[in-house]
Amino acid sequence: MPQNKLIEDFRKLQSLLDSGATFIAFDTETTGLSSTNDRIIEIGAVKFDKNGIIDKFETLINPQKAIPAECTEINHITNEMVKDAPTAEIALKEFSDFIKDGILVAHNANFDLNFLNEELERAKLPQSKNKALDTLTFVRWAYPLLGKYNLQLMARLMDIKVTDAHRAFDDARVCMEVFNKTLADTRSVQKKA
């Protein structure tokens, strides 16, 4: 599997946004933690640029295997909910069309990118070559003294409303808001770059 192309120079993010770049905050819900053995059961995304939200994407995915009870306890996605959902091949073709060449944004990005690329490979679709930004690494850089950086904690600290934690679309929206807030908070550091 190709190495994920993560943006590491956070000081240039504001100029990248100001230049008209399109970003896609996204999140996946899965049947487990192993991208090689487990499957994506939901993907949600918010496409945005310097002017705000451009578009949204949200779909359940039929993993063609049973969802473990411990996963359903976390994300509340049941086997019944996904039984008539599109397969990964169909859903990820639509997702690839949605993201085009935008910059992907995810909290703990390698997790979601590894799942995305494994599913694309299984479906015999092209792997994602998009640049990506890990908001987990970004907030660690911006707020080095916090100690904990999970998405729900960052939302609480930043006064971002969470309506459906551990569902892909709401987590993607929260990720976008964490990105925007962190970008605003670090604007003075970025200008010195």
Sequence-ordered alpha helix ranges (H) in 69-167: 69-75, 79-82, 88-99, 109-122, 135-142, 151-157
pLDDT of 190 above 90: no
CA-based nearest residue to 165, from 188, 97, 173, 157: 173
pLDDT of residue 187: 84
Give the Cα separation of 53 and 1 in Å (integer): 31
Give the Cα separation of 26 and 46 in Å (integer): 6
Mean pLDDT of all residues belonging to the chain: 95
Catalytic residue among 39, 47, 107, 166: 166
- Which 3 state secondary structure label does DSSP give 147? coil
Rounded mean pLDDT, 95-114: 97
Tokens of 6: 């993560």
Residue 89 contacts by C-beta under 8 Å, 6 or more apart in sequence?
123, 124, 125
pLDDT of residue 2: 59
Rounded mean pLDDT, 73-100: 97
- Of the pLDDT bands very low, low, confident and very high (cuts 50, 70, 90), residue 1 is low
Give the single-character DSSP code of 33: S
CA angle (175, 181, 185) in 5-degree steps: 140
Asked if 166 is an active-site residue, the reply is: yes
- Of the pLDDT bands very low, low, confident and very high (cuts 50, 70, 90), residue 77 is very high
